Amino acid sequence: MDLRKLRDMALEVTTRLFLERDGVLPDEGGDEWEAEYRRQYESLKRAASASTPAEPAAQGSAGPFQPELTGAPAEKRWAADLRAARLSRIADKEIGEWLAGAWTSAAVWIETRDLADSAFLRRIEAEHAASRRRAEAIAAETAAAEKSRTAATDALRARLEAAGITAAGLMDLVDVSPRIEAPTTLRRKIAEVEVGERNLRIFETGSEDVLAVLEKSKAGRSQYAIERDDGLVADLTLFAEASQHRRQ
């Protein structure tokens, strides 16, 4: 136990306590300062004594990764010592690794300074179990959502295949649709179809009878309008829905 280090830490913690609480420091020779300093010193001393490992860690055992703690400098130094001692006495590697990663606030470690090892272990075992249950629940929800998404994608793919809808076929239908010489205002995008170097984006317009096509190809970019066909729109909508599911 480094008594000089304990005195320095007690001095720093006492100073910070008065500054944060009152905004000013009392006379360091006064009773109030001395009482608080002694209280902090004795608390640190008890924590240091309780944190001394009964047996040294096995040589070559690095232990769990211990990330940087958050908090005031004095708190971080104190909490780092507490953490190292606590972790050295946890036999369960999984719990030790979880604890080192989950408890990154210096204040949390300091709050447990007076807990006996048995009480501390019961607490972290309960928290670890709760954390595992949450993780398992999230994993189950994710798996269920993925299963549902896959099923929906497969169903859409089956509908496309049954209807004989392909990107090339849709592009051919757009190409053979009557062109309309009329001003168009783009509304909702219905679908995007890409075959080779051609990319078509088909939009609804301000007119119920007109679709707008924005085409990008090796030759450049162009925009034109075609006559709306309900069958084509239905096929494009189904194709777009299936494409969206594949990208998710």
pLDDT along the chain (248 residues), means of 10: 64 66 69 75 66 41 74 87 91 90 90 90 92 86 85 87 93 94 85 95 92 94 94 94 77
Residue 3 C-beta-side C-alpha neighbours within 13 Å: 0
Is 169 contained in some domain? yes
Contacts for 7 with CB less than 8 Å, ≥ 6 apart = 41
- Total number of domains in the chain: 2
Establish if 168 belongs to a structural domain: yes
The answer to whether residues 33 and 120 belong to one domain is yes
- Same-domain pairing of 119 and 170: no
pLDDT at 12: 64
Question: How are strands ordered across the β-sheet holding 220-227?
Answer: 179-180, 220-227, 210-217, 198-205, 186-195
- Residue 143, domain member (yes or no): no
Give the residue numbers spanning the domain of 42: 3-134
Whether residues 122 and 213 share a domain: the answer is no
CA-to-CA distance for 238 and 187, rounded, in angstroms? Answer: 18
Q: Mark whether 19 and 84 lie in a shared domain.
A: yes
Q: Are residues 127 and 8 in the same domain?
A: yes
Is there a single domain that holds both residue 122 and residue 179?
no
Same domain for 112 and 179? no
pLDDT on residue 61: 44
